[in-house]
Amino acid sequence: MREFIDRTVLPVLGNRYLQGLPDASRVGRDIVFTTDGYVVDPLFFPGGDIGSLCVNGTVNDLVVSGAVPRFLSLAVILEEGLPFDDVRRVLASIGKAARAAGVAVATGDTKVVRRGQCDKMFITTSGLGWAVGRPDPRRIRLGDKVLLTGTLGDHSLAILAARGEFGLESAVKSDCAPLTFLLPLWKKGVRWMRDVTRGGLATILSELAEGLPFAIRIEESLIPLSRPVRAAAEILGIDPFYMACEGRAVLIAPQAAAGRILDHIRSFGAGRRAAVIGEVGLKPGRPGEVLCETSAGGLRLLEPLTSELLPRIC
């Protein structure tokens, strides 16, 4: 995908807003603008649906880009024959999620295409917010702490469970939720944050580390995992470091502010399992690396995910 963007999209569309390919772009002095397409299958899963997903996903992109989310656009493409009840459920979900996140759906569009021309429902949302902070990796220093707002992989597993794949019966619920409770942290010293979506924690941290003159060192035993994710990951041989979330963020904060910041996050339900999971350091660790101390005591390097996350047989 990255190659496609670099080779095909940027040569034609490239401009200063797209430089660095941010999830959200600052346009105008204080306006932050983002967009995302949602094609999740199945539409409904434990803990959420495409409706809550399309709101929270875009809201969270704005939050981690330093903006208070205010408005969403909503473009819906429906496959002919989709049960009306499903559409109603999704819209209700969108309404509920928008209210919870404090955003208004200010503009929208609906299209119906013939059966087979799209898979049930595709949604695109764009989001607009007012900047209250600016993530700046250049301010990251040695000794800064790495924080995670909650357990990894619950959304990923919820989708697997909802697809009925592998005959799994799990108590898992998607972590799909708004991260708006993190907004005050932009004034409390946080340097950088990202929501832990596709590719999982390892990929997100690898992308950050790539541009740093430091290593990021994390400790496996400090990573919060829910019991269902722990179990399914071992049964299927999937690594939680690569499982996607839809309501979790990883943050970098100065050592002196980390305690306060952790307290703030933990005071919210969605952040109750937040933890400091590591720090920015060197030796061990070379610039650009993500180094993980495993639960058994040895060290391993974490690389970004380069293909689909597949269950292992071996």
- What gap in Å lies between CA 314 and CA 293, rounded to an integer? 24
Among 11, 28, 167, 269, binds another protein (CB under 8 A): 167
Distant-in-sequence, close-in-space partners of 94: CB < 8 Å, separation ≥ 6: 51, 52, 54, 55, 74, 105
Mask 269-308, x = binds another protein (CB under 8 A)? ---------------xxxxx--xxxxxxxxxxx-xx-xxx
Among 32, 68, 205, 232, binds another protein (CB under 8 A): 232
Per CB under 8 A, contacts with another protein among 51-80 are: none
Query: Least Å distance between CB 168 and another protein?
Result: 5
- Cβ contact 66:131 at 8 Å: yes
Contact flag: residue 313 with another protein (CB under 8 A): yes
Query: Least Å distance between CB 155 and another protein?
Result: 16
Query: Least Å distance between CB 288 and another protein?
Result: 5
Distant-in-sequence, close-in-space partners of 190: CB < 8 Å, separation ≥ 6: 133, 182, 251, 252, 253, 257, 261
Beta carbon nearer to another protein, 261 or 290 = 290
Residue the block writes with tokens 């409706």: 51
Contact flag: residue 116 with another protein (CB under 8 A): no
Planar angle of CA 119, 125, 128, nearest 5 degrees: 175
Beta carbon nearer to another protein, 10 or 31 = 10
Nearest one of 156, 294, 165, 314 to 226, comparing CA atoms: 156
Crossing angle of helices 154-162 and 227-236, in 10° steps, is 60
Contact flag: residue 41 with another protein (CB under 8 A): no
Phi/psi of residue 62, nearest 5 degrees: -70, -45
Among 171, 213, 263, 272, binds another protein (CB under 8 A): 171
Residue the block writes with tokens 């292992």: 312
Among 42, 211, 213, 259, binds another protein (CB under 8 A): 211
Query: Least Å distance between CB 99 and another protein?
Result: 33
Query: Least Å distance between CB 216 and another protein?
Result: 14
Mask 1-20, x = binds another protein (CB under 8 A)? -x---x--------------
Q: Residue 178, SS3?
A: coil
Nearest one of 48, 124, 34 to 92, comparing CA atoms: 48
Among 237, 263, 267, 272, binds another protein (CB under 8 A): 237
**Which two three-digit tokens encode residue 135?**
């993530």
Contact flag: residue 22 with another protein (CB under 8 A): no
Which among 10-18, 60-68, 184-192, 233-241 is the span making contact with another protein, rule CB under 8 A?
233-241
- What gap in Å lies between CA 243 and CA 234, rounded to an integer? 13
Contact flag: residue 228 with another protein (CB under 8 A): yes
Contact flag: residue 170 with another protein (CB under 8 A): yes
- What gap in Å lies between CA 256 and CA 131, rounded to an integer? 24
**Which two three-digit tokens encode residue 76?**
């819906």
Contact flag: residue 85 with another protein (CB under 8 A): no
Nearest one of 184, 225, 235 to 201, comparing CA atoms: 225
Contact flag: residue 169 with another protein (CB under 8 A): yes
Please give the residue ranges that form the binding site for another protein (CB under 8 A).
2, 6, 165-171, 210-211, 227-228, 230-232, 234-237, 239, 284-288, 291-301, 303-304, 306-308, 310-314
